[in-house]
Amino acid sequence: MEQISKRFPGVTALAGVSLSCDRGEVLALVGENGAGKSTLMKILSGAYRPDAGRIVFKGREIQISSPAQAQQLGIAIIMQEFNLLPHLTVEENIWLGREPVKGYGVIDGRTMTARSHALIESLNVRLQPDQLVSDLSVAQRQFVEIAKALSLGADLIIMDEPSSTLTEHELDYLFRVIGELKQRGVAVIYISHRLGEVFHIADRATVLKDGALVGSRAIREVTQGDLVQMMVGRTLADTFPPRRGGERSPVLRVGGLSRRGVLHDISLEVRAGEIVGLAGLVGAGRTQLARAIFGADPIDGGTVELFGKAVRLRGPHDAVRAGMALIPEDRKLEGLIQLLSIRHNIGLPNLDMFRRFGFIRQRQEREACLQWFRQLDIRAAGPDQLAVSLSGGNQQKIVLAKWLVRHPGLIILDEPTRGIDVGAKAEIYRIMRQLADTGTAILMISSELPEILGMANRILVMREGRLTAELDGATATEESIMAAATGTAAERPVP
């Protein structure tokens, strides 16, 4: 792609951007939200037409007028939201609209199954052509999309945030499949906010910022810090605000918390002004612990104290009234109503604060919304913009804002920066540090070890539903956290 430009009313989305990808190469396309990555890929996949520039594919200049034409040329895109029909089988999804037929236009089921088997075996994944897509895991659906792309004869596959909902095991499987695609000479453009993945799978990285090309570098020639500098104009060290010291009184105390088969005799505390990181492998029980503390899941035994007083939480409503807030792992499913406005999302869990004689005092609701809209620097046209139209970072700010209206003493953040870009992450970190500096206690669950190490005053490590170690955030390392998470080294028991 050479000197590609694209304008929309009032905004230049792309300004003379060039990009190249060779056969058998994995090119990472990175940049903050709004950098122009999606627009560039929509042009390459035929959804948009460029205003200027040219595309050369397999040695000849081409004009792509539609997604169907892009597929015919050998260009396939796998979107973050899968384009699959869950009530159909794997093979029906792979060949939808292109089913092999025999006499009188009847679908040739035997041929379709044989071709599907061949595609699946070529990827070396565990799928059966007759499985319903609704019965598949997220990773398996990803592989159906890849098989569908290969059935089109794709020489170039674009993957948009393919790992956003995968477990670590599933991610390893995806990387292996991408490696096999490389061996077959398929070019892959891999879009991701997770720089660790970029360094694991990509051969080269192209960086966009504000619709312009910053540069393209071989992965072996750069560090994560270099890419962050290119993406946001600041170093990796500037991403995490400095820690604050000082001992304060406990806000949360959990003693002997248990839930049969899930949590086992967990005791911990979080102090005012402190950020405690909760680390562990997928399935260690971190989210289940957060939900149990918040009253969202029942417990079989143990105690929860807030501000020195025992609390009995019959549900999240009790936790909210007691001064807790929970930012869930899946903000789109559990944190937002996407087709409501920013104002209504912020106001919804706080109607008791704005209600009088059965009516909502809309002026008071709007003032509270505007306060946090400005304070958190939510980038939108205004409070009445729909949440669905915002970037992941701004959606996460809305989820934070709706609880900050209540000034909670304890905030539990489950994967607070999942699916958002590097610049938005730095803003979330700044907000968290400001909250801690004003005395808010924060329990942060994260699968990103640099995030845990950069933000936490103390780090608690879980394995198989148990706390296995407590580490000082200032001296802990990725190795010490992983040792406690996997049981590969002697553990220091939690006091």
Amino acid identity at 181: L
User: How far, in Å, are 133, 184, 187, 417 from residue 170 at the CA level?
Assistant: 17, 21, 21, 20
Q: Residue 234 has what pLDDT?
A: 57
Q: What is the DSSP letter of 333?
A: I
Class of residue 41 by CB neighbours under 10 A (exposed 0-12, middle 13-18, buried 19+): buried
Contact call for residues 424 and 33 (beta carbons, < 8 A): yes
Q: Residue 225 has what pLDDT?
A: 80
Contact call for residues 412 and 294 (beta carbons, < 8 A): yes
What are the sequence ranges of the domains in the chain? 2-236, 250-486
Report which of 214, 206, 220, 219 is spatially closest to residue 232, judged by C-alpha positions.
Answer: 214
Encode the chain (495 residues) as per-residue pLDDT tens digits.
999 999 887 678 899 999 999 999 999 999 876 688 888 999 999 999 999 999 999 999 999 999 999 989 999 988 866 788 999 999 999 999 889 998 788 999 999 999 999 988 887 778 899 999 998 877 788 888 888 888 888 899 998 888 766 666 777 878 888 898 899 899 999 998 778 889 999 999 999 988 899 999 999 999 888 887 888 765 555 677 777 766 689 999 999 999 998 999 999 999 999 999 999 877 789 999 999 999 999 999 999 999 999 998 889 999 999 999 999 888 888 889 989 999 899 988 888 888 888 888 888 888 888 888 888 888 888 888 898 888 778 888 899 999 998 999 999 999 888 777 777 788 889 899 999 999 999 999 998 888 899 899 999 999 889 999 999 988 998 888 888 888 765 444 454
Bridge partners (DSSP) listed for residue 360? 355
Q: Residue 33 has what pLDDT?
A: 67
Measured over the CA atoms of residue 396, residue 397, residue 398 and residue 400, the dihedral's sign is: positive
**CA distance linking residue 16 with residue 268, whole number of Å:** 54
* Residues ≥6 apart with Cβ < 8 Å to 333: none
Q: Which CATH superfamily is domain 2-236 in?
A: P-loop containing nucleotide triphosphate hydrolases (3.40.50.300)
Q: Residue 492 has what pLDDT?
A: 46
Q: Candidates 3.40.50.300, 2.60.40.10, 3.40.50.2300, 3.40.50.720; correct CATH number of 250-486?
A: 3.40.50.300
* Residues ≥6 apart with Cβ < 8 Å to 473: 243, 275, 277, 452, 453, 455, 456, 457, 458, 459
User: Tokens standing for 86?
Assistant: 């869950």
Sequence-distant contacts of 160-164: CB under 8 A, at least 24 apart: 160/38, 160/41, 160/77, 160/78, 160/79, 160/80, 160/191, 161/80, 161/191, 161/192, 161/193, 161/419, 162/78, 162/80, 162/190, 162/192, 163/192, 163/194, 163/197, 164/80, 164/418, 164/419
Task: State pTM to two decimals.
Answer: 0.65
Report which of 16, 100, 28 is spatially closest to residue 54, judged by C-alpha positions.
Answer: 16
The yes-or-no answer to whether 2-236 and 250-486 have a common fold is yes
User: How far, in Å, are 135, 182, 314, 449 from residue 146 at the CA level?
Assistant: 18, 13, 45, 29
User: How far, in Å, are 27, 146, 210, 440 from residue 35 at the CA level?
Assistant: 17, 26, 4, 33
